[in-house]
Chain A
Amino acid sequence: MKKLLAMLMALSMLLGIVGVASAEAAPTKLTLWTFIDQHAQFYNKMAEEWNKVNPDKQIALEATVLGYDDMHNKLKIALQSGVGAPDLCDVELGQFPNVLLGQPQLVVLNDALAPYIDTVVPSRLSIYSKGDNHYGVPTHVGASVAFYNVELLEAAGIDYKTIITWDDWSEAGKKLKEATPGVYMGNVETTTQWQTSLMLTEQGADFQDNSNPDDPKPTINTPELLKAVQTQQQWLKDGIAYICPGGQVDTEEGKAWLNTNVCATVIMPEWYMSRFVDEIPDLAGKYAIAPAPVFEVGQPRSIGLGGTGTVVTLTCPDIPLAGDFITWAKLSETGESMIWDVMGFDPVNTAVWDDEALTHNPENKFNKYFLTNVFDTLNEIKGEIKFVASTSISPTMNSYFSSTLWNNLYIDLLDAESELETAQEAIEADIF
């Protein structure tokens, strides 16, 4: 019995020594969840780069790609229960208010962000913040632009450069419809509000009044939103826009529909470029990029939409390392260049936008796909990029919009004014 015990002791000590020895050499393991494959590729690449320049702080990044709903739900439950969360996680803008509920189980990243704070578009940090605490590291600006299908427009004798206002756009649409029936000037979204958000901020409005951050109020029944939705209803009545299959162009069905080359304009955030290049290859060489139309000349022509904030969870074993890595990966110059080069996004550090060697690289796959350079447009609208608020009431509002409001307005073409009133009441009743 004694011998056996002694042997066991010796064995466990041996194992312990081996364990300690390997722990010293082993890089820190960090787990990361994301819902976009390209993001995972980017993080893996950045982890390699990090290990090259930080031999003393090696990391072993384990990036997992999960479905959008699946990942966010798993994360929320893990944060709620305090078990099972990854160390780092991508959180989509629309979901961000959900992870900030109650006492956020996330690390305040103010210290890790400090070296980069001066170069980053401030509103891109504030959308991932609660009070003065920043919880998410942004990926891109997501400035909306217009993608014009030059081939389709030229065939109908339309020069996209002459389109300045929505009226010009509608007129062009009518001309296009006459010249090539079955081809649409644009599309109307029923499960999201990329275009509607742009039309709202052009008029200086928002879906909500966020003047008191502790108590945001929905503002649906406004003349500005009415104008935005009535304009789109008119497109449908005139037959110049098509209800986007799949509810919006950033879905499988939407992209399949675009790929049939029947849509002359796509008004989407800049990041939609990557979807064109990766998933709509048939239309390469057909689209040019320009600022989106406005209601009146002089209105701001762009809005930053979508986005992903990467968070560090409180259960992460090495919080400072995770924070340093993720801010470096996404906000350092190395990271920002890679964000454009690998993913085709508009970096949040707008200084990068002027680096011609990087932005006008003829070998870049995004530059090759489009007829014009996206940074020419971005630099033109740089000072006009607005934002809509994302607060605790946003998920409730978005859910009502996509399930009810847009369907009523665009599929059933119901009276816009009374629909917006109903929506206002329904959303107010659902907030708690």
Chain B
Amino acid sequence: MTVVRRFLYSKKIAPYVFILPFVLTFAVFFIYPLASTIRMSFQDILPGQVQWVGLSNYRRLLGDKVFGQAVFNSVRYMLITCALLIPFPMLFAYMISSKSMKSAGFFKSLYFVPVLTSVVVAGLVFRMMFSELPGALMNSIRGLFGKPAIYWMKNEYSSLLALILLCCWRWTGMNMLYFMAGMKSIPNELYEAAEIDGANTVRKFTHVTWPLLKPTTIYVLTISIYAGLAMFTESYMVFGNNTSPHNYGLTIVGYLYRYGFEKLRMGYASAVGLALLVGAMVINVAQLYITGAVGPRRTKV
């Protein structure tokens, strides 16, 4: 009994006991799968037969044009969504937080509602909006301008437009909320001081809000990069399945899904997953380093 008691009351051990649930979950659901993914990426796995194949999955991956296209699609999508989903939500947040804004609560909820919808439902609705049928919403809009119906999802740029629109529609509200929270933490005195110095609304934004929002911006950028690179469900739902014309909607995760689940090549799919992990890590660490969130502090001149 004393052993147990000594164990439970030990100041050294207690903290570990408290974090044990997290460590265990993390080990079971993250570390173990990661380790086994690394092992599997060197194997050829079929039901009932597993074979070590060395680096051949990786060699295949590097030589695959379709994988190149998937990477291109994912990176392009990620760049566009980052370019849209940081400035606009920030602007909207600034506008809604502004004192002269009327019925701010209404707009806040209006922007936030899409976040609560499921991707699957939203994707389905967008697919119908962008459908090939002449009576579908987007084709009807074209009809208003006297233009003929087009195959929205069979064209590279119009299908990309559908994906980007869906993403912006869903995430503007979320990012806006992050920025509004960030703005709340900026002390009012700074704005008052700026006003005394004669700053107008624009200068207050560029010289007070923007620099002080940096930590929030870095956070939003980091998750946007990851979300952009890991996009899959949106494309799957909007195109109706994982096969899109000319692979326009194929993302890295879509490629992984194609080989892992559709073609049941778990070994190869593991290599794809690791490539995605490494890619996202490199981009994000570089981004964090450049923005100064990690690494040596730069001294101000």
A residues contacting B by CB (< 8 A) are: 69, 73, 76-77, 79-80, 98, 101-105, 190-191, 243, 245-246, 251, 253, 256-257, 395-396, 399, 402-404, 407-408, 411, 430, 432
Please judge, given known A-B contacts A256-B133, A407-B246, whether A102 and B47 are in contact too, CB under 8 Å: yes
Cβ proximity bits B246-284 to A, threshold 8 Å, 1 near / 0 not: 110010000000100111111000000000000000000
Check B245–A403 contact: CB distance below 8 A: yes
Check B49–A103 contact: CB distance below 8 A: yes
Complex Cα distance A253/B151, Å? Answer: 12
Check A395–B262 contact: CB distance below 8 A: yes
Check B246–A403 contact: CB distance below 8 A: yes
Complex Cα distance A290/B234, Å? Answer: 42
Please judge, given known A-B contacts A69-B242, A404-B246, A411-B154, whether A245 and B133 are in contact too, CB under 8 Å: yes
Please judge, given known A-B contacts A253-B132, A404-B246, A411-B154, whether A73 and B47 are in contact too, CB under 8 Å: no
Q: How many A-B residue pairs have CB under 8 A?
A: 71
Q: For the complex, is B211 an interface residue (Cβ under 8 Å from A)?
A: no
Complex Cα distance A91/B174, Å? Answer: 41
Please judge, given known A-B contacts A104-B47, A403-B245, A411-B245, whether A77 and B261 are in contact too, CB under 8 Å: yes
Residue of A whose beta carbon sits closest to that of B261: A73
Q: List 24 A-B contacts (CB under 8 A).
A: A73-B262, A76-B264, A77-B261, A80-B45, A98-B262, A101-B47, A102-B46, A102-B49, A103-B46, A104-B48, A190-B245, A243-B151, A245-B131, A245-B133, A251-B240, A395-B263, A396-B263, A399-B258, A403-B246, A403-B247, A404-B247, A408-B246, A411-B151, A411-B154
Check A257–B133 contact: CB distance below 8 A: yes
Complex Cα distance A69/B242, Å? Answer: 9
Complex Cα distance A375/B8, Å? Answer: 81
Chain A residues within 8 Å of B46, by CB: 101-103
Complex Cα distance A257/B136, Å? Answer: 12
Q: For the complex, is B222 an interface residue (Cβ under 8 Å from A)?
A: no
Check A246–B48 contact: CB distance below 8 A: no
Please judge, given known A-B contacts A245-B131, A404-B247, whether A101 and B154 are in contact too, CB under 8 Å: no
Chain A residues within 8 Å of B49, by CB: 102-103
Main secondary structure of the interface of A (DSSP, over half): helix
Q: For the complex, is B243 an interface residue (Cβ under 8 Å from A)?
A: yes
B264 partner, pick from A98, A245, A430, beta carbons under 8 A: A98
Chain A residues within 8 Å of B291, by CB: none
The smallest beta-carbon distance between B151 and chain A, in angstroms, is 7
The smallest beta-carbon distance between A204 and chain B, in angstroms, is 29
Q: Which of B101-136 contact A (CB under 8 A)?
A: 131-133
Q: Which of B129-162 contact A (CB under 8 A)?
A: 131-133, 151, 154
Residue of A whose beta carbon sits closest to that of B45: A80
Check A105–B47 contact: CB distance below 8 A: yes
B48 partner, pick from A73, A102, A190, A243, beta carbons under 8 A: A102
Cβ proximity bits B202-246 to A, threshold 8 Å, 1 near / 0 not: 000000000000000000000000000000000000001111111
Q: For the complex, is B60 an interface residue (Cβ under 8 Å from A)?
A: yes
Q: What are the 10 tightest A-B residue pairs by CB atom distance, in nearest-first order?
A: A102-B46, A103-B48, A102-B47, A245-B132, A73-B261, A407-B245, A102-B49, A102-B48, A101-B46, A403-B243
Residue of B whose beta carbon sits closest to that of A81: B47
Chain B residues within 8 Å of A407, by CB: 154, 245-246
Contacts beyond the supplied A69-B242, A245-B132, A403-B246: 13 A-B pairs with Cβ under 8 Å: A80-B264, A80-B266, A98-B263, A101-B264, A190-B245, A245-B133, A246-B132, A399-B243, A402-B243, A403-B245, A404-B245, A404-B247, A407-B246
Complex Cα distance A77/B45, Å? Answer: 12
**Max chain A CB contacts within 10 Å: which of B45, B154, B265?**
B154
Residue of B whose beta carbon sits closest to that of A244: B132
Complex Cα distance A71/B197, Å? Answer: 66
Complex Cα distance A426/B97, Å? Answer: 55
The smallest beta-carbon distance between A106 and chain B, in angstroms, is 9
Chain B residues within 8 Å of A98, by CB: 262-264
Chain A residues within 8 Å of B132, by CB: 245-246, 253
Chain B residues within 8 Å of A76, by CB: 261, 264
Complex Cα distance A191/B264, Å? Answer: 21
Complex Cα distance A145/B26, Å? Answer: 57
Complex Cα distance A105/B245, Å? Answer: 33
Complex Cα distance A80/B40, Å? Answer: 13
Please judge, given known A-B contacts A104-B47, A253-B131, A395-B263, whether A432 and B245 are in contact too, CB under 8 Å: no
Residue of B whose beta carbon sits closest to that of A257: B133
The smallest beta-carbon distance between B246 and chain A, in angstroms, is 6
Complex Cα distance A101/B132, Å? Answer: 36
Check A103–B47 contact: CB distance below 8 A: yes
Check B133–A253 contact: CB distance below 8 A: yes
Complex Cα distance A105/B46, Å? Answer: 11
Check B246–A432 contact: CB distance below 8 A: no
Complex Cα distance A102/B154, Å? Answer: 36
The smallest beta-carbon distance between A118 and chain B, in angstroms, is 32
**Max chain B CB contacts within 10 Å: which of A79, A399, A403?**
A403
Residue of B whose beta carbon sits closest to that of A105: B47
Complex Cα distance A414/B61, Å? Answer: 29
Chain A residues within 8 Å of B265, by CB: 432
**Max chain A CB contacts within 10 Å: which of B49, B240, B242, B245?**
B245
The smallest beta-carbon distance between A315 and chain B, in angstroms, is 12
Residue of B whose beta carbon sits closest to that of A72: B262
Complex Cα distance A76/B49, Å? Answer: 14
The smallest beta-carbon distance between B251 and chain A, in angstroms, is 14
Chain B residues within 8 Å of A408, by CB: 246
Chain B residues within 8 Å of A399, by CB: 243, 258, 262
